[in-house]
């Protein structure tokens, strides 16, 4: 399969410029690039979501024009999206045949599909119970359903867009085993990712994109992560974080017996207690969806705590009510939220307006807002954090992800807080900015701030943290020292496997009940009468 | 559209305005109340009077519908400024606006219907609605087999209560035990324009066993008559003769000769016999009455007709005095 | 990726609305032609009626006053992400406040009564809007639904109060006792003969002040900042510690107070008494005005003037062109609302092609 001279513009933005790419049959081909490099656009053209402004696509030597995804499927191209496109309350088999039914009657299609699924499962190690409902499956299993969907439709070329973002290391390994089997069976895999480790681990060839252009295609065996990073960013990048040993001071943030429920009343944080001292970074590791978001939201006042207390600088702060975040800020707690677009920024407002978000009441006396002061301080921060473009009057949506994140960081750091809680500081941020953001977080620590860091990037947690807490199913299942803990140990903890509840098959895990019922655990049991689903396997 | 065309359009408009302002028509004008020209009722009756005048004399007249209260004064003033006379405004809602504008145009004649404005250049025409309603009440009570009849006023409002009260009195004069249900369409003037709601309200009455319904809801009354007809029961029209709307299912109509009032005003002006002051039109003046025509001939028995004739004679002679709700805001029955 | 190509600002705020209005008139013109009238003449009459002579212009400004207040009542709420469909009812209930104060102070000079009417109208309107705000903030009842229902409740409640309690003996139509001339909101023709026989009054000046005030509030105060954050991104508002429930209640009260000024214009000024259903749709036009004006006071001012001109021009047209009925004028007004509001972006794609700029080689986007 090859692409020749692909161009695609969205208005004034040229997402793809003269892209040439050829992928050999029966290989795993990686495509790496920073966010916004044009990877997803290119794949969407291949899959028929967009039509290229110019350029040609060749599949098996023949020139084709792909106008929609059905067409792509007919040519044997299937795609597994970053966000799964599954109907939650349908069974696996129903999802697989959805849109590919042979006739108006479902029966024959289903029995045919059942046979085929059995065959596919045998050939590629893609075991999934065909009659399970999607909503009952773990994320990794759902992803397998997506792959099955593509294969069922006869895909020879499989495109996977950031497939490991939601997976545990073990699940990712499982996925890679599946991909290898698929390759060995003659399928072609295109893997889009920004994780260089994965590229090195699984791909045969790798293409690097930068700012809409194809920089280079390399044999994976002949390159190194450092070289790829340099190609992606266009300059030398330091992948390791350089930091001095921590010198923890007094306790600045103290969380005691915290219980937090989600919007449906299901407990997501279950009786968590920990402390963060001045001058240390405490990292919270865990697979996405194990209570990290709710933990951050509750500590920062974005979500009501059901039980427990949060003390900032020794003082217990009531975070209850929809203005709890303001009280916590006043107490010296700053928060860089996990999702800057949804939580940390109002992208339709201007840069200077976002630069005062949460602190706007300290600008101006009385009713009036001191716009002059706000703009002046925003300009200072732009200078200090090298935010580009350096324009306080630009709509925040027009900044790149990295610069948006810098706006948030600058705002939260420059208020000189005692406690800084940071969620996913480098999600969707390009490598150059990651380096800068990491340095800033370390600098805050060295300035004696207490920092709580939550990230799904295990590498990030390990390189930044002074202590690591592992969160699984709303509980802290272990603490590790980043200097000694290896990835395997952490991975097991993240998967819910730890000494006190020695494993275990799924049934046993689900049936597990606390031996000593504390009052809080009793409350928790009452709050969620049904047994929590185990999403780790 | 180019700029030049725009300018010429403006110029055209200005010129037209100037022509209209400059010429002195002595034509009559008619400004309808909120319900609008073709309400099949009160306003349409006035329109019919004007059409009658136009047909008979060959003279023309102008008319206008308004869209809000703020336009009342404006509309009267526009016609007066441009020399129309008489200016006929059916509806009591005009009283305040007319009181304000009429003194500014002492040479223009105004006719207000359903309200009294005591000014030297205003003729006020009011009706004894209770008398006509008494007659249709008699017919309703005689027609009813269930012993339950209904009345649907647009909303709780003195003038409409006068209809309802006369109707009740008439019905009880035939059958003292008769049950008269009264349900409003809505709460304000917009109820006059809500036939859908009127249908619902009527259906509810029919469900309770009512078999004759008197509509006192102007434009919304069409919904009352429709519902009664659909259920195979009888409706009674109001203001205009509405017997033709659902032949065989409109028992009769309480006609209020707004058309006559409008026609007379126009003719008087033409003949130079126009006069100010209050004109009260009752049964004696043939200003109100029950409508009999081919459409309802089969529904009216000779006994019914005789009862109506008898009551008419007694009301005219003064033997029967039908109570006017407006006098004491109460209904004796 | 569905990001729109940004149009040059002047195209977005000026050319697009103008083209939309012209398109509406084009279709309106076809309607006029269908009934055998000359559409150019009709446009001429409408423009003449709206701007051509003092009293006509006065009427235009009178309607504009109502539409500015109603439009601001929608816009202010919209800035906080609230869709206030209730200015109609809020203005109606405010009429009660205005008339109660005016009748209590009847006979006093307007310099005393008018501020009192403004305060009372504002308070009553605010109270009527506060209830849906409270229900949204504390009980989660959707504000669109509650404000619509509160319009109906207002109609029934006011109908009852007017006909059963405020109506003086011996008056036929459902209305309150009149306010003495000295105590009414003075009409502009007292000061300026140009507006003779037109109802435009000092409320118009108040409307202009309200436009400036709303601009200041939204873009130059802490409260306005919080309001906009809430309106654009409620999650970020919570993140920033902006109390969602408090903001909703205050903003709705503020919107209601603005809607209440419609009552000052009509009850306190034009009619000098409380008439049944005096708002007659101005509150609903406010929704269209706010949308056409994109919630910005400047846009609200322009679209309110456009609708004011349409209303007065439409009346002139009905008066001058016998073939044109009330319904046809409503049709034309509705076309303007349709093209500028609901289908306001219909002409955007062709304009985007016209104003397409060659790609900037240094910027690229994907993902």
Percent of chain B scored above 70 by pLDDT?
92
Are the beta carbons of A223 and A66 closer than 8 angstroms?
A: no
Neighbours of A514 (CB within 10 A): 10
Whole-number Cα distances in Å, C266 to A457, B70, B98, C121, C200:
64, 8, 18, 11, 10
Task: Report pLDDT for B193.
Answer: 80
Quick check: C356 and A342 CB within 8 A? no
State how far the Cα of A467 lies from the Cα of A474, in Å rounded to an integer: 18
Q: Is the same domain home to A59 and A9?
A: yes
Side-chain-facing half-sphere of A236: CA atoms under 13 Å: 2
Q: Which of C44, C273, C322 sits opposite B62 (nearest CB)?
A: C322
State how far the Cα of B109 lies from the Cα of B265, in Å rounded to an integer: 9
Are the beta carbons of A301 and A262 closer than 8 angstroms?
A: no
A168 within some domain:
yes
In A262-377, the DSSP E strands lie at: 267-277, 281-285, 307-312, 315-316, 333-336
Judging contacts by C-beta atoms under 8 Å, the chain C residues touching residue A343 are 235-236, 239
Task: Report pLDDT for B4.
Answer: 45
Q: What is the 3-state secondary structure (H, E, C) of C50-62?
A: HHHCHHHHHHHHH
Q: How many domains does chain C have?
A: 1
Judging contacts by C-beta atoms under 8 Å, the chain C residues touching residue B5 are 40
C122 within some domain:
yes
**Residue carrying the six token digits 């007017």:** C162
Q: Which of A326, A342, A360 sits opposite C235 (nearest CB)?
A: A342
Q: Is the same domain home to A317 and A227?
A: no
Tokens representing C114?
């008018």
Tokens representing A401?
């992800």
Residue A160 φ then ψ, to 5°: -120, 125
Quick check: A368 and C221 CB within 8 A? yes
**Cα C207 to chain centroid, rounded:** 10
Q: Choose the mutation target among C79, C219, C361, C367 for the interface with A, i.e. most A CBs under 10 Å.
A: C367
- Domains of chain B (ranges plus CATH)? 24-128+259-281 (3.40.50.2300), 129-256+288-328 (3.40.50.2300)
Residue B161 φ then ψ, to 5°: -65, -30
The pairs formed by A233-242 with CB atoms below 8 angstroms and a separation of 24 or more are A233/A34, A233/A430, A233/A431, A233/A432, A234/A210, A235/A432, A237/A431, A237/A432, A237/A435, A238/A435, A240/A463, A241/A438, A241/A439, A241/A442, A241/A463, A241/A464
Task: Report pLDDT for B8.
Answer: 47
Any idea how long chain C is? 367
Q: Is the same domain home to A136 and A279?
A: no
Q: Is the same domain home to A113 and A261?
A: no
Q: Is the same domain home to A289 and A163?
A: no
Quick check: A344 and C367 CB within 8 A? no
Region B269-297 average pLDDT: 90
Would you place residue A239 in the very low, low, confident or very high pLDDT band (cuts 50, 70, 90)? low
* Closest-CA residue to C179 (of C262, C107, C88): C107
C333 within some domain:
no
Angle in degrees, CA B183, B184, B190, rounded to 5: 165
Task: Report pLDDT for A237.
Answer: 62
Residue of chain C whose alpha carbon sits nearest to that of B66: C326
Q: Which of A9, A36, A353 sits opposite C359 (nearest CB)?
A: A9
Decide if the complex's ipTM is over 0.85. Answer: no
State how far the Cα of C262 lies from the Cα of C281, in Å rounded to an integer: 11
* Least confident span in A236-250, B205-219, B287-301, C256-270: A236-250
State how far the Cα of A442 lies from the Cα of A243, in Å rounded to an integer: 7
Neighbours of A56 (CB within 10 A): 13
Q: Is the same domain home to A314 and A280?
A: yes
Tokens representing A275?
């402390």
Quick check: C271 and B70 CB within 8 A? yes
3-state SS assignment for residue B161 = helix
Tokens representing C357?
């700029």
Burial class of residue C75 (count of CB atoms within 10 Å of its CB; 0-12, 13-18, 19+): buried
Name the residue range of residue C87's domain.
64-293
Task: Report pLDDT for A523.
Answer: 59
State how far the Cα of B73 lies from the Cα of C199, in Å rounded to an integer: 9
Q: Is the same domain home to A272 and A212?
A: no
Mean of all residue pLDDT scores within chain A: 83
Task: Report pLDDT for C359.
Answer: 42
List pLDDT tens digits, range C166-197: 888 767 677 899 999 999 999 998 888 888 88
Give C 153-182 residues with CB within 8 A of chain B: 155-156, 158-160, 163-164, 172-175, 178
Angle in degrees, CA A31, A36, A38, rounded to 5: 50
Name the residue range of residue A174's domain.
2-233
Q: Is the same domain home to A329 and A255?
A: yes
Q: Is the pLDDT of residue A490 over 60?
A: yes
Q: Is A206 left (phi over 0), alpha (psi -120 to 50) or beta?
A: beta
Task: Report pLDDT for A281.
Answer: 94
C-alpha dihedral sign at A130, A132, A133, A137? negative
Neighbours of C31 (CB within 10 A): 17
List pLDDT tens digits, range A269-316: 989 999 999 999 999 988 777 888 899 999 999 888 888 889 998 888
Q: Is the same domain home to A14 and A137?
A: yes
Quick check: C325 and B77 CB within 8 A? no
Are the beta carbons of B287 and B260 closer than 8 angstroms?
A: yes
Q: Which residues have CB under 8 Å from A520's CB, separation 6+?
A: A257, A259, A271, A307
Are the beta carbons of A317 and A363 closer than 8 angstroms?
A: no
CATH number of the domain within which A73 lies: 3.40.50.300
Q: Which of B250 and A514 is assigned the larger pLDDT?
A: B250
List pLDDT tens digits, range B30-49: 999 877 888 777 898 899 99
A368 within some domain:
no
State how far the Cα of A460 lies from the Cα of A243, in Å rounded to an integer: 13
C-alpha dihedral sign at C64, C65, C70, C73? positive
> How does DSSP assign A349-364, residue by residue?
SBHHHHTTTTTGGGSS
Q: Is the pLDDT of residue A537 over 60?
A: no
Judging contacts by C-beta atoms under 8 Å, the chain B residues touching residue C41 are 9, 12-13, 16
C98 within some domain:
yes
Neighbours of A156 (CB within 10 A): 19
Whole-number Cα distances in Å, A126 to A106, A349, A351:
23, 47, 48
Q: Which residues have CB under 8 Å from C355's CB, separation 6+?
A: C7, C8, C11
State how far the Cα of B84 lies from the Cα of B87, in Å rounded to an integer: 6
Asked if C334 reaches chain B (Cβ–Cβ under 8 Å), the answer is no
Quick check: C174 and B67 CB within 8 A? no
Beta bridge partners of A213: A210
Judging contacts by C-beta atoms under 8 Å, the chain A residues touching residue C359 are 9, 11-14
Q: Is the same domain home to A461 and A507?
A: yes
C238 within some domain:
yes
Are the beta carbons of B322 and B145 closer than 8 angstroms?
A: no
Tokens representing A519?
């009052």
Asked if C281 reaches chain B (Cβ–Cβ under 8 Å), the answer is yes
A386 within some domain:
no
Are the beta carbons of A423 and A296 closer than 8 angstroms?
A: yes
Question: Which of A74-93 are b and which e, b meaning 16 or more Cβ less than 10 Å from the residue's Cβ?
Answer: ebbbbbbbeebebeeeebbb
Query: pTM of this prediction?
Result: 0.77
Q: Choose the mutation target among B69, B82, B113 for the interface with C, i.e. most C CBs under 10 Å.
A: B69
Task: Report pLDDT for A258.
Answer: 92
Judging contacts by C-beta atoms under 8 Å, the chain B residues touching residue C330 are 67
Q: How many domains does chain A have?
A: 2
C34 within some domain:
no
State how far the Cα of A389 lies from the Cα of A11, in Å rounded to an integer: 20
A387 within some domain:
no
Q: Is C48 left (phi over 0), alpha (psi -120 to 50) or beta?
A: alpha
C164 within some domain:
yes
Asked if A329 reaches chain C (Cβ–Cβ under 8 Å), the answer is yes
Mean of all residue pLDDT scores within chain B: 87
Tokens representing A502?
């020695």
Region A497-520 average pLDDT: 47
Q: Which of A13, A321, A346 sits opposite C233 (nearest CB)?
A: A346
Q: Is the same domain home to A425 and A468?
A: yes
List pLDDT tens digits, range A12-66: 667 788 888 888 888 999 998 876 678 878 888 888 888 888 888 888 888 888 8
Are the beta carbons of A510 and A183 closer than 8 angstroms?
A: no
* Least confident span in A248-257, A384-393, A419-428, B3-12: B3-12
Would you place residue A507 in the very low, low, confident or very high pLDDT band (cuts 50, 70, 90)? very low
Say if A and B touch: at least 3 Cβ pairs within 8 Å. no
Q: Is the pLDDT of residue B176 over 50?
A: yes
Question: Which of B154-174 are b and which e, b meaning 16 or more Cβ less than 10 Å from the residue's Cβ?
Answer: bbbbbbbbbbbbbbbbbbbbb
Q: Which residues have CB under 8 Å from A497's CB, separation 6+?
A: A503, A504
Q: Is the same domain home to A322 and A433?
A: yes
Nearest chain C CA: its distance from B226 CA (Å): 23
Residue of chain C whose alpha carbon sits nearest to that of A355: C240
C137 within some domain:
yes
Q: pLDDT by residue for chain C (367 residues), tens digit each?
A: 333 456 777 877 778 888 888 888 888 888 888 888 888 888 899 999 999 999 899 999 999 999 999 999 999 999 999 999 999 999 999 999 999 999 999 999 999 999 999 999 999 999 999 999 999 999 989 999 999 999 999 998 998 898 788 888 767 677 899 999 999 999 998 888 888 888 999 999 999 999 999 999 999 999 999 999 999 999 999 999 999 999 999 999 999 999 999 999 999 999 899 988 899 889 999 998 998 888 999 999 999 999 999 999 989 988 888 778 878 888 888 888 788 777 777 777 777 777 765 444 333 333 3
């Amino acid at each position: 399969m090859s692409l020749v001279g692909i161009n695609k513009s969205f208005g004034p933005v040229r997402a793809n410029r003269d892209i040439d790419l050829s992928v050999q049959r029966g290989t795993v081909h990686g495509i790496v690039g920073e966010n916004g490099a044009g990877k997803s656009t290119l794949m969407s053209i291949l899959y028929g979501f967009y039509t290229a402004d110019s350029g040609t696509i060749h599949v098996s030597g023949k020139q084709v024009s792909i106008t929609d995804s059905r067409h792509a499927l007919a040519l044997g191209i299937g795609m597994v999206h970053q966000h799964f496109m599954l109907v939650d309350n349908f069974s696996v088999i129903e999802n697989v045949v959805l849109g590919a039914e042979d006739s108006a009657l479902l029966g024959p299609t289903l029995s045919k599909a059942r046979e085929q699924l059995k065959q596919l499962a045998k050939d590629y190690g893609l075991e999934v119970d065909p009659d399970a409902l999607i909503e009952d499956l773990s994320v990794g299993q759902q992803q397998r359903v997506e792959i099955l969907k593509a294969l069922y439709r006869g895909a020879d070329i499989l495109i996977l867009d950031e497939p490991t973002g939601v997976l545990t290391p073990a699940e990712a390994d499982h996925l890679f085993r599946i991909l290898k089997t698929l390759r060995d069976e003659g399928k072609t895999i295109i893997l889009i990712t920004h994780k260089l480790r994965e590229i090195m681990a699984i791909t045969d060839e790798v293409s690097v994109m930068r700012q809409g252009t194809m920089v280079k295609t390399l044999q994976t065996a002949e390159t190194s992560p450092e070289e790829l990073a340099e190609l992606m960013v266009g300059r030398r990048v330091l992948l390791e974080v350089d930091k001095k040993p921590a010198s923890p001071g007094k306790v600045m943030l103290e969380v005691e017996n915290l219980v937090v429920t989600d919007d449906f009343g299901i407990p997501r944080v279950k009786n968590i207690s920990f402390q963060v001292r001045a001058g240390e970074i405490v990292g919270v590791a865990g697979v996405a969806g194990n209570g990290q978001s709710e933990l951050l939201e509750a500590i920062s006042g974005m979500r009501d705590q059901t039980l427990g207390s949060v003390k900032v600088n020794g003082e217990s702060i009531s975070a209850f009510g929809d203005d709890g975040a303001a009280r916590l800020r006043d107490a010296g707690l700053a928060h860089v939220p996990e999702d800057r677009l949804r939580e940390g920024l109002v992208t339709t407002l201007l840069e200077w307006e976002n630069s005062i978000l949460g602190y706007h009441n300290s600008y101006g006396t009385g009713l009036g807002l001191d716009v002059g002061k706000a703009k002046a301080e925003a300009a200072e921060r732009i200078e200090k954090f090298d935010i580009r473009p350096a324009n306080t009057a630009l709509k925040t949506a027009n900044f790149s992800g990295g610069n948006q994140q810098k706006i948030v960081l600058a705002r939260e750091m420059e208020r000189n807080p005692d406690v800084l809680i940071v969620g996913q500081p480098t999600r969707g941020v390009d490598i150059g900015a990651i380096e800068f953001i990491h340095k800033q977080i370390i600098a805050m620590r060295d300035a004696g701030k207490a920092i709580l860091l939550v990230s799904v990037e295990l590498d990030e947690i390990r390189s930044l943290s002074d202590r690591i807490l592992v969160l699984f199913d709303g509980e802290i299942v272990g603490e590790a020292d980043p200097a000694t803990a290896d990835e395997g140990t952490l991975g097991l903890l993240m998967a819910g496997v730890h000494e006190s509840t020695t494993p275990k098959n799924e049934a046993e895990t689900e049936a597990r009940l606390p031996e000593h019922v504390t009052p809080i655990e009793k409350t928790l049991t009452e709050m969620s009468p049904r047994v929590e689903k185990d999403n780790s396997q | 559209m180019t700029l030049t065309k725009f300018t010429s359009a403006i110029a055209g408009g200005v010129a037209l305005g100037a022509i209209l302002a400059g010429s002195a028509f002595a034509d009559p004008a008619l400004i309808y109340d909120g319900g609008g020209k073709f309400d099949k009722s009160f306003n349409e009756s006035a329109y019919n009077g004007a059409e009658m005048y136009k047909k008979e004399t060959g003279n023309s007249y102008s008319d206008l519908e308004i869209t809000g209260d703020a336009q009342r004064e404006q509309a009267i003033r526009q016609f007066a400024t441009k020399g129309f006379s008489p200016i006929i405004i059916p509806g009591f809602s005009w009283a305040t606006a007319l009181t304000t504008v009429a003194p500014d145009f002492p040479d223009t004649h105004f006719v207000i219907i359903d309200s009294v404005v005591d000014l030297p250049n205003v003729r006020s025409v009011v009706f004894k609605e209770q008398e006509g309603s008494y007659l249709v009440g008699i017919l309703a009570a005689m027609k009813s087999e269930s012993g339950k009849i209904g009345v649907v006023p647009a909303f709780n409002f003195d003038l409409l209560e006068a209809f309802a009260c006369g109707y009740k009195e008439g019905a009880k004069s035939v059958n003292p035990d008769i049950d008269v249900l009264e349900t409003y369409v809505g709460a304000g003037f917009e109820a006059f324009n809500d036939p859908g709601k009127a249908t619902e309200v009527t259906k509810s009455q029919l469900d309770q066993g009512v078999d004759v319904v008197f509509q006192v809801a102007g434009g919304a009354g069409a919904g009352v008559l429709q519902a009664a007809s659909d259920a195979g029961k009888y409706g009674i029209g109001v203001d205009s003769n509405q017997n033709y709307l659902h032949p065989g299912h409109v028992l009769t109509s309480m006609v209020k000769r707004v058309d006559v009032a409008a026609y007379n005003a126009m003719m008087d002006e033409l003949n130079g016999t126009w006069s100010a002051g209050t004109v009260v039109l009752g049964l004696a003046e043939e200003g109100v009455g029950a409508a009999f025509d081919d459409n309802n001939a089969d529904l009216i028995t000779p006994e019914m007709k005789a009862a109506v004739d008898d009551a008419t004679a007694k009301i005219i002679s003064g033997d029967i005095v039908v109570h006017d709700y407006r006098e004491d805001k109460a209904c004796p029955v | 990726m569905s990001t729109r190509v940004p149009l040059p600002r002047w195209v977005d705020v000026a050319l697009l609305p103008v083209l939309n209005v012209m398109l509406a008139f084009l279709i309106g013109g076809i309607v006029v032609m269908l009934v055998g009238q000359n559409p150019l003449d009709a446009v001429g009459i409408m423009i003449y009626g709206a701007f051509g002579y003092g009293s006509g212009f006065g009427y235009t400004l009178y309607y504009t006053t109502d539409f500015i207040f109603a439009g601001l009542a929608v816009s202010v709420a919209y800035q906080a992400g609230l869709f206030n469909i209730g200015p109609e009812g809020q203005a109606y209930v405010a009429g009660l406040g205005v008339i109660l104060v005016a009748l209590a102070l009847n006979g006093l000079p307007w310099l005393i009564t008018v501020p009192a009417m403004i305060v009372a109208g504002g308070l009553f309107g605010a109270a009527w809007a506060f209830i849906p705000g409270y229900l949204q903030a504390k009980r989660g009842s959707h504000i669109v639904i509650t404000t619509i229902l509160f319009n109906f409740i207002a109609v029934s409640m006011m109908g009852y109060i007017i006909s059963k309690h405020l109506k003086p003996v011996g008056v036929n139509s459902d209305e309150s006792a009149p306010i003495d001339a000295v105590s009414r909101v003075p009409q502009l023709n007292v000061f300026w003969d140009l507006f003779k026989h037109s109802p435009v009054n000092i409320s118009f000046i108040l409307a202009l002040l309200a436009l400036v005030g709303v601009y200041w509030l939204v873009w130059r105060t802490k409260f306005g900042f919080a309001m906009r954050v809430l309106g654009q991104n409620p999650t970020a508002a919570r993140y920033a510690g902006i109390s969602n429930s408090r903001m909703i209640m205050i903003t709705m009260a503020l919107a209601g107070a603005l809607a209440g000024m419609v009552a000052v214009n009509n009850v306190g000024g034009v009619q000098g008494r409380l008439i049944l259903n005096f708002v007659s749709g101005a509150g609903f036009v406010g929704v269209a005005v706010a949308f056409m004006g994109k919630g910005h006071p400047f846009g609200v001012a322009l679209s309110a003037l456009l609708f004011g001109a349409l209303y007065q021009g439409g009346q002139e047209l009905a008066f001058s062109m016998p073939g044109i009925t009330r319904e046809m004028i409503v049709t034309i007004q509705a076309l303007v609302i349709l093209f500028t509001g609901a289908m306001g972006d219909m002409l955007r794609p062709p304009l985007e092609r016209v104003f397409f700029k060659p790609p900037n080689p240094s910027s690229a986007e994907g993902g």
